[in-house]
Structure 1
Amino acid sequence: MKSPSADFSLSLSVFFTVRSTHTLSIPMRSTVRSFSFIALVAFLIVSPTFASESDHKYQPDDPVTLWVNKVGPYNNPQETYNYYSLPFCHPIGEMAHKWGGLGEVLGGNELIDSQIDIKFQKNMEKTTICDLELDEAKVKQFKDAIESSYWFEFFMDDLPLWGFVGNLHPDKNSDNNKHVLYTHKNIIVKYNKDQIIHVNLTQESPKPLEVGRALDMTYSVKWIPINVTFARRFDIYLDYPFFEHQIHWFSIFNSFMMVIFLTGLVSMILMRTLRNDYAKYARDDDDLETLERDVSEESGWKLVHGDVFRPPRNLVILSAVVGTGAQLALLILLVILLAIVGMLYIGRGAIVTTFIVCYAFTSFISGYVSGGMYSRNGGKNWIKSMILTASLFPFMCFGIGFLLNTIAIFYGSLAAIPFGTMVVVFVIWAFISFPLALLGTVVGRNWSGAPNNPCRVKTIPRPIPEKKWYLTPSVVSMMGGLLPFGSIFIEMYFVFTSFWNYKVYYVYGFMLLVFLILIIVTVCVTIVGTYFLLNAENYHWQWTSFFSAASTAVYVYLYSIYYYYVKTKMSGFFQTSFYFGYTMMFCLGLGILCGAVGYLGSNLFVRRIYRNIKCD
């Protein structure tokens, strides 16, 4: 397979943007590195940069560090390895590492000082890095990397540079392609006064890979002054034509019109239908014969008033997922707002760090919603409910992550999570998230009070009559996710493309609108499904309303399968496992979030309509 061009001009840089903002993997290193994370928990959480580059200001001839990061197949974004896993020129002596924040570590980055001599505003002519002696093993490694289109990532002053390891050139003497390795790196740095604004890397001098040959690995540096301000230096990595395309704007407008139409339709149908139902059920006893005839002709939701508030099956599980979903809804809203205000996409791993910290501190919400719901439905084992609420989603993600981590360790990839980082994440959960969930549960169950249902629950459950197939809970549940998925379908394409195709997602204003649209559409569709179910005299609306909304995640996962085979060129067991594993985590969170929103909306609707009727 022929590798892409080696010329990494700024016009192509949008195809190689900083993936670590979005990925959720982490490098596996030595025991010393692992335990250093434990000793520096606070530093890992809050520190985005190393102290020497914290102010991003330099004086003439100040040393500027070129950090090497990772290397891997271009078509497999998560399959990355240590840069020096390939036999490039190694630094002399002990390798100096740069430790970033927790999100950067979880992003699978391992920055190592290349020890290449670069000084601020000082041009460097062609200078030798080292003489690379090629033996059979090195040639094989480089050839395998070139055939797999290996690319690498460097950082200078927290700005990324990219390049391909080599290329395949036609061989004049045979029908086969010749493997060539780029031996010269031309670094172009643009600066404004005492700050670096842009960096770019072009590669030259391709040399054939031959056993016994010595390659002169060289570099050069050119400094160019520009007038771009430091605050605008990251704009070059944002793909404005892609994310702000007319299709993106049109999809937002289309989803917004769907919300207006759907909410209006739901309001008209339900208000008119319920008004007629109220008028029929509120008739005097003198009109009893007409009432009985109407009821026999059209069964209604009032007939199940004695069972509609019966506690659902597996109350402890339902309370846990609803509480977790409420927390995730608040979490997503909070992270989106912080991303809009703070431009979190600029920092390596800033989104991941923000997500983890906000998840820990919003755990109070999950406990509060879960504890209140469990208490209002007559639950007694609140400790079990609290533990399940606090651990359900994290442990599901841990289970998937454990399998992916095992695969990453087997492959020796930077995606493997070291033990020290696992301890850091566990400490955050155990000492922040879990206690807040416990506090929320205690507050929720004490403030919820005794069950206060509009209608008394009868002792003997009412038999549920058989209805047409489209009124069964399973069909209502699967159909309920279609419209919510339709409202976010286009945005899912942009999110998936940014995550899996080297683009920085920065249009969080669009994401906020789509998220609010998803919430509104989910609530409206779930309310309609609940009303149809109750009219069919089926009072098991609690789990049905949850699954009706949660089924949105099923359609998103089906779309991810289509995206994998049609929109990407990923291959191999490693990347396939990570793609569907990460997507599974995302869809689990999305399903729990939508399910909780759907249940809470249906719960308010059911209580509202039964509060306005005469219950015997």
Structure 2
Amino acid sequence: MEVKANKLTSNKTQISLSYYSIPYCRPHQIVNSVQNLGEILRGDRIQNSLYQFEMGHDTRSEIVCLMTLNEKTIKEFKEKIDDGYRANMILDHLPLVVPVTTNDNDSEPIYQLGYLVGYKTKDEKYFINNHLSFIVSYHQNSITHARRIVGFEAEAFSINYYQQCDTYYCPQGIDDKNEIFFTVGVLFEESDIKWESRWDPYLLIDDDQIHWFPILNSLMNVLIVLAGVAAGMSATLYRTISNYNQPGSLEEAHEATGWQLVHTDVFRPPVNSELLCVSVGTGFQIFGMIVLTVIFGSLGFISTSNTGGLMTDVILLWAVLGFDGGFSMARLYKTFQGSEWIKTTLKTASMFPGLVFCIVVVLNVVKWSDGSWGPLPLHDMFVFAVLWFAVSLPLVFLGSYIGFKLPEIKAPVITNEIPREIPEQKSSFFLIMMGGIIPFVVVFNVLFPTLTFITSPKFYYIFGLVLVVLIMTSVEVTILLCYIQLCREDYLWWWRSYLTAGSSAFYLFIYATFYYFTKLNITELVPSVLYFGYMLIACLVLFVLTGTIGFWACFILTHLLYSSVKIV
């Protein structure tokens, strides 16, 4: 059995390094393992190692190698210890975990991924963890007696084999020209955990940034408030429409106010309608990708525990759902009487992925300049380009072609040729920015666990709950503010509805910046650039997603509202 070496990761920096970027024991020839697309995106670099043992053969301590440190290697070890780097390993596709000590003996064990490279004492002395004590759990089939690995744990120790302190070995310090023995011990334990359930303990990975009670509490508060707002608004609309459709006299029929007055302008195409169609089409593609990922994950077709599998499935779903993006763009663009459908379709297929691709390339160059093992190899970048141009692009055009062939979405009222003058509006920008606060509150408590999941080997699994409430809050907030806008005789709701819901991304970036300066211990330029680069991509996704949700909510509201009244 061979333990595979993976990357070095740290909670203090976004840079992942090769396991052999520091002078660990290494084989004569380093061989890279075959990886899926998701593992590559996560920065995994799985390679062979010198840690090998036989199934069922326990060992207390065996020498892996003897290493002599010099000034350069000492500096490298100290830097990694200061940054809190953890070394990650894999056995039979199971990541190495380290149990965390808890005060509650009855609670389930909590794990952390990877073992610490070393530690530093208060008197500025550095010690390296040079002994690994593996615990390999296996489940034995009662019929075939076959053994299958269901757990891979380790404890890391610092042991100076040349010096004893009382009856124990002293910890191994890092000094110039120090000879260090790297050793390993293995203990095999039979477990009742079946092979199908071996990933369950990994869902208990320790992460002090996941606070379940605040998350559920904030979600319940938001739902209660929005339920009250929805009930009040529904009653008001019902009473207004009933009074408008059944006037007591002819004079009352002409005493329309508020949103009734703008019925001849409410469906007037907006400025930059082409860009709006492209943004909505892209958002619909992202929305479909996220929804299908959550549904397939809930049904068991996609497992977040499969290393790199979730990320791979997300990218493939995005490429396949290019059809939905092109179709929704075409339906809206035809409603606006657009004619340049080829140009608009090409923008839909290239604008957002092109922007994200450029950011990724810049981050890749930054990682490469720092010597990190995070950058994507050129052949993998080529794979992404193939998915983009050979899969997503044709499907966007196919969806667009079918969408343009269908009849346009008819407005329930006639639009005048001469636009109505809009009364002077106050605090329009304020209302837009206010609309993004509640969706931001929904993702507030899950922002950084999500980011940690994306940029490091964490396992996170509450996306479905957050997605449902995010959709509900974006829909109801946008509908409420859209109705207020129409009541103020402002019929320019197209872009307003998109920006109102999408403004939550602005708060996301502001809070990420605040968190960077107050919570994170990042002092170097490269990790800072990577952090803000990842956050920029996350904010772009959130902006397009929530903006599209808010737009379609307001679009449906206006159609239902004006098709429910008798225009005199």
The TM-score normalised by the length of structure 2 is 0.87
Match of 2:47 in 1: 112
Q: Specify whether residues 190 and 266 from structure 1 end up closer, same or farther in structure 2 by C-alpha distance, changes over 3 A only.
A: same
Matched, 1:403 2:344: no
Match of 2:76 in 1: 141
Matched, 1:235 2:190: no
Measured against aligned partners, the alpha-carbon deviations of 1:195-248 in whole angstroms (never above 9, x if no partner) come to 112222222313222333322222121212222222222222223897684444
Deviation at 1:566, TM superposition (A): 4.2
Deviation at 1:359, TM superposition (A): 0.5
Match of 1:186 among 94, 117, 133: 133
Matched, 1:79 2:44: no
Match of 2:505 in 1: 553
Match of 2:101 in 1: none
Match of 2:445 in 1: 490
Aligned counterparts of 2:245 and 2:506: Cα–Cα separation in 1: 37
SS at match of 2:15: coil
Match of 1:274 among 241, 247, 257: 241
Q: How does 1:104-183 map to 2 (within 5 A)?
A: 104-161=39-96, 162-169=114-121, 176-183=123-130
Match of 1:453 in 2: 411
Matched, 1:528 2:480: yes
The TM-score normalised by the length of structure 1 is 0.81
Aligned counterparts of 2:295 and 2:469: Cα–Cα separation in 1: 16
Identity rate, percent = 29
Match of 1:317 among 275, 281, 286: 275
SS at match of 1:219: strand
8 A Cα contact 2:329 2:400, kept in partner: yes
Amino acid aligned to 2:156: Q
Aligned counterparts of 1:274 and 1:559: Cα–Cα separation in 2: 42
**Could you list the runs of 5+ residues in structure 1 that have no partner in the other structure?**
1-63, 171-175
Q: Specify whether residues 333 and 575 from structure 1 end up closer, same or farther in structure 2 by C-alpha distance, changes over 3 A only.
A: same
Deviation at 1:376, TM superposition (A): 1.3
Match of 1:387 in 2: 346
Q: Specify whether residues 212 and 580 from structure 1 end up closer, same or farther in structure 2 by C-alpha distance, changes over 3 A only.
A: closer
Match of 1:6 in 2: none
**Range that drifts further, 312-321 or 110-119:** 110-119
Note the aligned Cα RMSD (angstroms): 2.4
Match of 1:202 among 147, 150, 155: 155
Q: Specify whether residues 244 and 490 from structure 1 end up closer, same or farther in structure 2 by C-alpha distance, changes over 3 A only.
A: closer
Aligned counterparts of 2:478 and 2:373: Cα–Cα separation in 1: 43
Aligned counterparts of 1:363 and 1:239: Cα–Cα separation in 2: 35
Match of 1:60 in 2: none
Amino acid aligned to 1:137: K
Aligned counterparts of 2:549 and 2:19: Cα–Cα separation in 1: 45
Measured against aligned partners, the alpha-carbon deviations of 1:82-108 in whole angstroms (never above 9, x if no partner) come to 11111122202x212211211011110
SS at match of 2:129: strand
Q: How does 1:256-275 map to 2 (within 5 A)?
A: 256-275=223-242
Deviation at 1:557, TM superposition (A): 2.2
Q: Specify whether residues 88 and 598 from structure 1 end up closer, same or farther in structure 2 by C-alpha distance, changes over 3 A only.
A: same
SS at match of 1:344: coil
Match of 1:505 in 2: 460
Match of 1:13 in 2: none
Q: Specify whether residues 306 and 591 from structure 1 end up closer, same or farther in structure 2 by C-alpha distance, changes over 3 A only.
A: same
Q: Specify whether residues 520 and 214 from structure 1 end up closer, same or farther in structure 2 by C-alpha distance, changes over 3 A only.
A: closer
Amino acid aligned to 1:154: M
Q: How does 1:59-98 map to 2 (within 5 A)?
A: 64-76=1-13, 78-92=14-28, 94-98=29-33
**Range that drifts further, 373-382 or 209-218:** 209-218
8 A Cα contact 2:422 2:490, kept in partner: yes
8 A Cα contact 1:252 1:513, kept in partner: no
Match of 2:286 in 1: 328
Amino acid aligned to 1:90: R
Q: How does 1:216-365 map to 2 (within 5 A)?
A: 216-239=181-204, 245-279=212-246, 285=250, 287=251, 294=255, 299-342=257-300, 344-365=303-324
8 A Cα contact 2:127 2:172, kept in partner: yes
Deviation at 1:454, TM superposition (A): 2.3
Matched, 1:544 2:502: no
Q: Size of the alignment, in residue pairs?
A: 530
8 A Cα contact 1:128 1:217, kept in partner: yes
Match of 1:476 in 2: 431
Q: Which has the higher contact order (CA 8 A, sep 6+)?
A: 1
8 A Cα contact 2:85 2:117, kept in partner: yes
Deviation at 1:388, TM superposition (A): 1.0
Matched, 1:211 2:147: no
Match of 1:569 in 2: 521
Q: Specify whether residues 583 and 221 from structure 1 end up closer, same or farther in structure 2 by C-alpha distance, changes over 3 A only.
A: same
Q: Specify whether residues 567 and 68 from structure 1 end up closer, same or farther in structure 2 by C-alpha distance, changes over 3 A only.
A: same
**Could you list the runs of 5+ residues in structure 2 that have no partner in the other structure?**
97-113, 141-146, 160-170
Measured against aligned partners, the alpha-carbon deviations of 1:553-572 in whole angstroms (never above 9, x if no partner) come to 22222232333344443442
Matched, 1:377 2:336: yes
Deviation at 1:278, TM superposition (A): 4.1
Measured against aligned partners, the alpha-carbon deviations of 1:433-464 in whole angstroms (never above 9, x if no partner) come to 11111010011111133x62222222222222
Higher helix share: 1
8 A Cα contact 1:266 1:524, kept in partner: no
Q: Specify whether residues 273 and 483 from structure 1 end up closer, same or farther in structure 2 by C-alpha distance, changes over 3 A only.
A: farther
Match of 2:167 in 1: none
8 A Cα contact 1:476 1:544, kept in partner: no
Q: Specify whether residues 525 and 137 from structure 1 end up closer, same or farther in structure 2 by C-alpha distance, changes over 3 A only.
A: closer
8 A Cα contact 2:42 2:456, kept in partner: no
